[in-house]
A and B are shown apart, each in its own frame.
Chain A
């Protein structure tokens, strides 16, 4: 937190992207979160990803719920659309916005409390419906905003700052996302932007429900000895299955596929997910195998990170609902209000 706004001055050699923007142009208001909060690093990663992808800020809608994590959309993409909904209700607001205008890029930012506690149902249904979005949970294992109570993702046996031991089983959001049919699932760590930025870029370019569980230490309430969401613990137990690079445009495709080697997954929009394998037996396009692997490594006490699953040809809610392609705000009156005869036809069809 800082009282002074971040000076507009930037490095004289700060690069610009295809739109002529610098990375700084993707920033928002100065953060009011605690100094050192992992959430701020995720904001920085989102800024970097949008800069790298040459995204026009006004084509982005950032949605969030309640929590420190849900406050962060104020701190990035200051020129984008945004909606700060009520606690746990971001997914339905995002779904509605997406149905009304599929041309925007939807960024859902939430917390472990917001998505795994009060908003668990909303989280589940937005994923199973395949809403085309990038859904990021900034997972710190606590309710940061309300002073550090255990959240539903807090590991069993994990110790609170004042010594209480968590007795409940944690909700594994990645496991749920896989089971619910999310078509792009990753796990990152706020302390590793080299891994996180490409994960976000791939998710933004994904044409279906993309979910990223990003472990994000709460320095104020959950960064102590005995916490399983602290900087030290996550660094010690982090097991990355792959390293991702997102390449735009149809780059030459590498077909070689062996341990430590490269594998390219071409997404529907032509973006290439170039994966460097770090675990020889991990195939990120095999959903069942991914679920098994994650369970197995979790039992061994590891935190598996990387791009865990991707379906390069996803389908989304608009496809299943056969909705009109044009955003509702561009339909004319006749299309929006086809009149009594059309209504009578619809009603007749339902009789």
Chain B
């Protein structure tokens, strides 16, 4: 798009047109997206005249579809209505117990992060399977929460909040890149720009952790929080409580952080949805009732190591 290439959506290839053995263009059927009750998208023809687009070359782009034509349908492997193997969502085991799937092949195209996580979980399953253990029993991951306080105003993470908008990766001038197919378009960040972009990180791994017994209800954290996350108020039913916070907590998919046991009988309610993880609440807290703790997750391993965490088997 940056190079001025039009993206024409909802067109399905119908026919390649040619004259005297030379490519002249393509015909496309117009379609529209319809969603079934389960939210699955289907493209249905609109019935309009096909669209003719002139061209002198066609590049077939990579799609993201799973297809398993090479798996014989009589070997006992069950597929669902979209042609994906039926799997247990936790163990990645298929209907043939010694066959496991992972990555794009498991639940359809996702991304590399999911592919790696699937691979890890499937490996745990295979390990347990080979030892004759129940693959539905999943070993827990190792979770470590560690306080980040170094001094009154010092944190072992970079707590400053950048106000910058997203830095775009610089592109080569289209007048160059459009002429030279080998010229790389994205030039990448240089050191300075890369650093500025990294400063925009909101440190979502650093959590605000509240210790009720330490709180003296001085309101300092409430007053300083730049995004009005924190409220001390009477407890109530969630829907109603969400509305009478310092700022209404409207993202229902994000749980509220609620702690009771305060001296005044009120509760501390924090709307995690808008938190910047800036640590101002913890800096202003006179008693350390707020702490900024880094959340470290080590994915599940198949046996316990000496530290109580799970680790890989050596053999």
Residues of A with Cβ closer than 8 Å to B? 1-4, 6-14, 24, 34-38, 40-41, 43-44, 190-191, 193, 217, 219, 223, 231-232, 235
Chain B 270-304 near chain A by CB (<8 Å), digits 1 or 0: 00001010101001111100000000000000000
B227 within 8 A of A: yes
| Chain B residue nearest in CB terms to A43 | B223
Size of B's binding interface in residues, CB under 8 A: 31
Contacts of B276 in A (CB 8 A): 7, 9
By Cβ-Cβ distance, the 5 closest A-B pairs, closest first, are: A36-B286, A7-B161, A44-B223, A11-B247, A36-B218
Residues of B with Cβ closer than 8 Å to A? 152-153, 159-161, 163, 216-220, 222-224, 226-228, 247-248, 250, 263-264, 274, 276, 278, 280, 283-287
CB distance from A100 to the nearest CB of B (A): 33
Task: Let me know if B161 and A36 touch, CB within 8 A.
Answer: no
Task: Let me know if B226 and A10 touch, CB within 8 A.
Answer: yes
Task: Let me know if A36 and B285 touch, CB within 8 A.
Answer: yes
Contacts of B284 in A (CB 8 A): 2, 35-36, 40
Q: Kindly state the separation between the CA atoms of A2 and B222 in the bound complex, as whole angstroms.
A: 15
Task: Let me know if A1 and B153 touch, CB within 8 A.
Answer: yes
Task: Let me know if B278 and A7 touch, CB within 8 A.
Answer: yes
CB distance from B203 to the nearest CB of A (A): 13
Q: Kindly state the separation between the CA atoms of A138 and B144 in the bound complex, as whole angstroms.
A: 43
Task: Let me know if B227 and A2 touch, CB within 8 A.
Answer: no
Contacts of A1 in B (CB 8 A): 152-153, 283
Q: Kindly state the separation between the CA atoms of A1 and B224 in the bound complex, as whole angstroms.
A: 10
Given contacts A9-B227, A13-B247, 13 further A-B contacts (CB under 8 A): A2-B284, A4-B278, A11-B228, A24-B226, A34-B286, A35-B220, A36-B220, A36-B284, A36-B286, A36-B287, A40-B224, A219-B286, A232-B263
- Contacting residue for A41 out of B218, B278, B285, CB 8 A: B218
Contacts of B159 in A (CB 8 A): 4
| Chain A residue nearest in CB terms to B226 | A7
Task: Let me know if B161 and A9 touch, CB within 8 A.
Answer: yes
| Chain B residue nearest in CB terms to A2 | B283
**B152, B163, B223, B226, most chain A CB atoms within 10 A:** B223
Q: Kindly state the separation between the CA atoms of A191 and B221 in the bound complex, as whole angstroms.
A: 12
Task: Let me know if A35 and B283 touch, CB within 8 A.
Answer: yes
Task: Let me know if A2 and B153 touch, CB within 8 A.
Answer: yes
A191-B274 in contact given A35-B283, A41-B223 (Cβ < 8 Å): no
Contacts of A9 in B (CB 8 A): 161, 163, 226-227, 276
CB distance from A204 to the nearest CB of B (A): 19
Q: Kindly state the separation between the CA atoms of A37 and B219 in the bound complex, as whole angstroms.
A: 9
| Chain B residue nearest in CB terms to A220 | B286
- Contacting residue for A235 out of B263, B285, B287, CB 8 A: B263
**A4, A14, A40, most chain B CB atoms within 10 A:** A4
Task: Let me know if A235 and B227 touch, CB within 8 A.
Answer: no
**A12, A14, A35, A193, most chain B CB atoms within 10 A:** A35
Q: Kindly state the separation between the CA atoms of A206 and B274 in the bound complex, as whole angstroms.
A: 38
Task: Let me know if B219 and A6 touch, CB within 8 A.
Answer: no
A12-B274 in contact given A6-B280, A217-B218, A232-B263 (Cβ < 8 Å): yes
Task: Let me know if A231 and B223 touch, CB within 8 A.
Answer: no
Instruction: List, sorted by A's number, 12 A–B pairs whose CB atoms are closer than 8 Å.
Output: A1-B153, A1-B283, A3-B153, A6-B280, A7-B161, A7-B163, A9-B163, A9-B226, A14-B228, A14-B247, A40-B284, A219-B216
Contacts of A190 in B (CB 8 A): 218-219
CB distance from A51 to the nearest CB of B (A): 13
Q: Kindly state the separation between the CA atoms of A34 and B216 in the bound complex, as whole angstroms.
A: 14
Task: Let me know if B247 and A223 touch, CB within 8 A.
Answer: no
A2-B287 in contact given A7-B163, A191-B219, A231-B216 (Cβ < 8 Å): no
Task: Let me know if A13 and B250 touch, CB within 8 A.
Answer: yes
Contacts of B222 in A (CB 8 A): 44
